[in-house]
């Protein structure tokens, strides 16, 4: 059996007919399906990339000292991670690369299990399948998973697709359980800056969650949403120093290296708060407009207190909703992409320019 035979059909390929239907609208498509940034890359980041363009030598897999320091400073100053250690930081070629390859990099095998939420980013499953490990879903990992078999536990807070945020108390309970059983916890925190309602999202590395030790924990962050960095492919992980050292050794052999100009751009992005605040304000305006429009059109929004999405339902099969909205030129993601529990939901991204958001609001009202 080939690798491709072990994997499901790429979910977004199934959306193509609906994308074509939405694109036939006289005023064009409003694409709210994929959470890809659409606003300009901040000038401070572009300047840093350009200034580092003359980079003829091989960059460091470990990342520059400036980048590792920038990550530690950012986590301490922005997210209260007092124990962030520059020596335990690894840059990533985007966070999806890490999600897809982590079980393989950790040498998981057949019989090992990778746990991830029932509603989740599909690549958690793909990473397990690539390693020939067994993907298993949970509602509550402490109650639902077999600690004797689970080797890697994915958390995702804020959640993609639901926007649900795990509190410090919830995270602490999971961390205590995982440590008791020697399970590595990896928290995907790519949307941590995008909280809208309720308490601010908290990192698994915050002392309120893990105390004064990062043992058994890895935190993954992306600049894609915060800094419109998706095209640059820049992210990072940090946490348990022993795990980071092991991953560094494997990544050196595999050539998993973030280009030097991108590393320089990451330093600039992490060191500049102003552009992130401005971008969050843009998303907040779009979120408010789209939420009101979809609720006015008969949708119920669940969770969605953080991230870049609205998790919405009107009590029907998600593909019926996708098809109906496509007739109005609006493209959304079917909840089924994220697990069977999403069959009656759609995910609505607010990563569309203001003009397209306004077009969606008009169409939903009319």
| Res. 328: pLDDT tops 80 | yes
33 and 49 fall within a common domain: no
- Do β-strands 330-331 and 89-92 pair in parallel, antiparallel, or remain unpaired? unpaired
173 and 237 fall within a common domain: yes
103 and 201 fall within a common domain: yes
Q: Using an 8 Å Cβ cutoff, are 272 and 228 in contact?
A: no
Angle subtended at Cα 169 by Cα 177 and Cα 172, rounded to the nearest 5 degrees: 30
Cross-strand partners of 313: 300
Residue 262 CB coordination number (10 Å): 24
Q: What is the CATH number of the domain that holds 303?
A: 3.90.1150.10
Q: Is the pTM of this model over 0.95?
A: yes
Q: What is the CATH number of the domain that holds 61?
A: 3.40.640.10
Of 256, 272, 288, the position where a domain reaches its end is 272
Q: Which domain holds residue 299?
A: 3-40+275-365
| Residue-level pLDDT at 10 | 87
132 and 264 fall within a common domain: yes
| Residue-level pLDDT at 5 | 80
User: Residue 351: which residues within 8 A CB-CB, separation 6 or more?
Assistant: 32, 34, 35, 36, 37, 38, 283, 308
Backbone angles phi, psi at 89, to 5 degrees: -120, 140
pLDDT band at residue 329, thresholds of 50, 70 and 90?
very high
Residue pointed to by tokens 């030790």:
213
Q: Using an 8 Å Cβ cutoff, are 67 and 365 in contact?
A: no
Please state, in angstroms and rounded to a whole number, the distance separating the CA atoms of residues 115 and 145: 7
| Residue-level pLDDT at 1 | 65
The answer to whether the bond into 158 is cis (omega within 30° of 0) is yes
> How confident is the model over 81-102, as pLDDT tens digits?
988 999 999 999 999 999 999 9
Please state, in angstroms and rounded to a whole number, the distance separating the CA atoms of residues 189 and 161: 13
The mean of the pLDDT values for the chain is 97
178 and 222 fall within a common domain: yes
| Res. 2: pLDDT tops 80 | no
Secondary structure of residue 138 in the 3-state scheme: strand
55 and 97 fall within a common domain: yes
358 and 249 fall within a common domain: no
| Residue-level pLDDT at 6 | 81
pLDDT band at residue 314, thresholds of 50, 70 and 90?
very high
Please state, in angstroms and rounded to a whole number, the distance separating the CA atoms of residues 349 and 351: 5
Residue pointed to by tokens 């915050």:
206
53 and 23 fall within a common domain: no
Q: What is the mean pLDDT of residues 155-180?
A: 98
201 and 73 fall within a common domain: yes
Of 245, 272, 299, the position where a domain reaches its end is 272
| Residue-level pLDDT at 8 | 87
Residue 363 CB coordination number (10 Å): 18
Residue 329 CA: distances (Å) to CA of 283, 336, 337, 347, 353: 21, 21, 20, 16, 15
Q: What is the mean pLDDT of residues 243-255?
A: 98
| Res. 203: pLDDT tops 90 | yes
Q: What is the mean pLDDT of residues 255-282?
A: 98
Of 222, 238, 272, the position where a domain reaches its end is 272
Q: What is the mean pLDDT of residues 33-46?
A: 97
334 and 263 fall within a common domain: no
| Res. 336: pLDDT tops 70 | yes
161 and 115 fall within a common domain: yes
Could you give the number of structural domains in the chain?
2
261 and 281 fall within a common domain: no
């Amino acid at each position: 059996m080939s690798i491709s035979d072990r994997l499901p059909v790429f979910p977004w390929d199934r959306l193509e007919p609906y994308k074509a239907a939405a694109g036939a609208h006289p005023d064009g498509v409003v694409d709210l399906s994929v959470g890809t940034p659409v606003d300009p890359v901040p000038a401070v980041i572009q300047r840093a990339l350009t200034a580092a363009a003359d980079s003829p030598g091989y960059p460091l897999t470990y990342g520059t000292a400036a980048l590792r320091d920038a990550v530690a400073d950012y986590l301490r100053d922005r997210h209260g991670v007092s124990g962030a250690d520059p020596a335990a930081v690894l840059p990533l070629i985007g966070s999806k690369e890490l999600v897809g390859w982590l079980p393989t990099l950790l040498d998981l095998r057949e019989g090992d299990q990778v746990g991830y939420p029932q509603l989740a980013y599909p690549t958690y499953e793909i990473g397990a399948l690539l390693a020939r490990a067994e993907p298993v879903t949970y509602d509550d990992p402490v109650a639902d998973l077999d600690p004797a078999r689970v080797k890697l536990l994915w958390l995702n807070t804020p959640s993609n697709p639901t926007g649900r945020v795990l509190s410090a108390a919830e995270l602490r309970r999971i961390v205590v359980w995982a440590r008791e059983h020697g399970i590595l916890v990896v928290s995907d925190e790519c949307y941590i800056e995008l909280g809208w309602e309720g308490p601010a999202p908290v990192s698994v590395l915050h002392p309120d969650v893990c105390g004064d030790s990062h043992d058994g924990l890895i935190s993954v962050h992306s600049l894609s949403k915060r800094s419109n960095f998706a095209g640059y492919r820049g992210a990072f992980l940090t946490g348990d120093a022993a795990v980071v050292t092991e991953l560094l050794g494997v990544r050196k052999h595999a050539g998993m290296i973030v280009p030097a100009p991108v590393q320089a751009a990451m330093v600039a992005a992490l060191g500049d708060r102003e552009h992130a605040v401005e971008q969050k304000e843009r998303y907040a305006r779009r979120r408010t407009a789209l939420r009101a429009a979809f609720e006015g059109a008969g949708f119920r929004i669940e969770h969605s207190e953080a991230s870049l999405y609205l998790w919405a339902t009107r009590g029907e099969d998600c593909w019926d909703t996708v098809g109906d909205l496509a007739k109005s030129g609006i493209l959304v993601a079917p909840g089924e992409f994220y697990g069977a529990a999403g069959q009656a939901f759609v995910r609505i991204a607010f990563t569309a320019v203001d003009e397209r958001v306004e077009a969606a609001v008009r169409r939903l009202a009319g």
